[in-house]
Chain A
Amino acid sequence: MPQSKKDELVHDHNHDGVDRRGFLKCMAWAGTGALCVMQGGVLKSYSMSRANEWNAAKMAGELSFAQISDSHMGFNKPANPDVAGTLKAAVEKINALSIQPEFLLHTGDISHLAKPEEFDTVDQILKGAVAKDVFFVPGEHDVIGDEGQQYRDRYGKGTKGEGWYSFDKKGVHFVGLVNVVNLKAGGLGNLGSEQLEWLEDDVKQLKSSTPIVVFAHIPLWSVYPEWGWGTDDSAQALSYLKKFGSVSVLNGHIHQIMQKVEGNVTFHTAMSTAFPQPQPGKADSPGPMKVPAEQLRSVLGITDVNFVRGQQALAIVDSQLA
C-alpha cells in the first residue's frame, strides 16, 4: 500500500483545528451545512449561510444531480415525528435550486422498517421532484427480514446480484453498490466476493480519464468501525478504482456530513432527511440525536452535485432544509 498520499484539509467547519496527518477530513456536523466544490481533485468547502455569494456561473457544469439519503419513512420518534414532511421539504429545496439536477440519487434507508406503505410514501413524495429519475441503493433498514427481496422488486429492475448496477451520464460512470445484505456477526458493511468481481469487470474497460462516482449506503471508508460505520471489504473495491483520475464516493448511513480526500478519491457522506445522528464516539450509541424542533431542519439536508467537464471533478453542495 502506498504511503504518504497527499491529503489536504480543505475546510475546518468546526474551527477545532482538526488537521490529522494522513487522515484529513472536512466535516460539517449537525447544523453546519456546507457548499463543497471539488476542482482539479481538491475539495473546496463554503458555508451555506453565504449561498447568496455563490457564483452560479462557476458552479454550473455539464451534469448536476442531487443526493438525498436516509429518509427513514416510518420513523416517528421525538427526534422527528414528521419524516414525510422533512422529505417533502428536501424535494422542494431541490426543485428550487438555481441549477436543476438532472436526476436524484437516494443512498438508502428509504424506509425505517421495510414496510410496503413506507416505500409507497417515499415514492409518492419523490414524484413531486422536477427531476424524474431517481437512482437508489438500499440501506440496512430497507432489507430487514427478507435480505432485500422487496427492495429489489421495487427498485432493482435491471440490477445484478443483491441490487448493484452501473450507468453512464454525460461521460461520468456511476456505480451503485450494495453493502447492507448478508452482514456477519461482529462485522461491518459487506460487499461480498460476487459484487467485487462484478465491479472489477465493470470498470476494466473504462479509460482512466473517466470520472467515477460510486454510491452505497454504508460508508466505504472507515468512519468509525466501533459503531459499524465502515465496510469490511471496501479497500478491495477501491483498489479497482486506482487507475482513475477522479473518483467520488457518496454514502449515507451516518446522518451527518463528513468528507475525506485520499489520493484520487473524495469520500463524502450526506445528511439524513429524517433525523441527525451524533458525531462518532460523542454519545453512548449512534441512536437518533434529539434536537429542539426549531433546529431540526438545520440538521437535515440534501446534497447537490455538479460535474464540471474538463476539470474532471465534482462540485458537492450540501444544504440544510431550514
Chain B
Amino acid sequence: MDRILNRIGLAALVITAFALLTPVDRHANAAGQGQTATSAAVKIDNFSFGPAAVTVPVGTTVTWTNQDDIPHTVVSTDNVFKSKALDTDDKFSFVFTKPGTYSYFCSIHPKMTGQIIVQ
C-alpha cells in the first residue's frame, strides 16, 4: 500500500514538474526560433541562387535579392509562389508556413534553380 502511495506521490510530483516546466520550455523554444530562424536570405548573383538550397523552420520568411544587372524572377515549380520581375536590387519575400521541399527557378533564365526545405 505504501509503495502504491509512494508511486502516486511520485507521479504527482512528476506531473507537477512537467506542468511547471513545459510552459517554460515552450517559451524558450519560441524565443529561440524568434532570434535565429524567422528569416533567411537568398542572393541572386551571376545568374544563380545562393545558397542554391536553404533549410529553414516552419514560419520562416525567405527574402531573395537580385544583385545582377539583369532582371530575374523567383517562381515555384508547383505554383506556390511567384515574384514579379526583380530588377537590380529588387527583393521578393515569401513566408513558408508548411513543411516541405519547395523547388523554384527563374522563369526568364530557367537554368537557374533553387530549393527551400522547410522543416
Contacts and interface: CB of A to CB of B under 8 A. Distances in A.
Interface of B is mostly: loop
B111 A112 contact: no
Interface size class of B (residues with CB under 8 A): 20 to 34
A contacts with B: majority SS: loop
Nearest to B114: A185
A186 B105 contact: yes
Given A77-B88, A287-B46, A287-B68, A228 B111 contact: yes
Contacts of B110: 183-188, 228
Contacts of B65: none
B47 interface: yes
Interface string B90-119: 000000000000011101111101000000
Interface stretch (A15-23, A140-148, A305-313): A140-148
A144 B70 CA distance: 12
A104 interface: no
B77 interface: yes
B73 interface: yes
A183 B85 CA distance: 15
Given A186-B113, A188-B110, A226-B111, A144 B68 contact: no
Interface of B: 46-48, 68-71, 73, 77, 84-85, 87-88, 103-105, 107-111, 113
Interface of A: 77-79, 112-114, 140-141, 144-145, 183-188, 225-228, 284-288
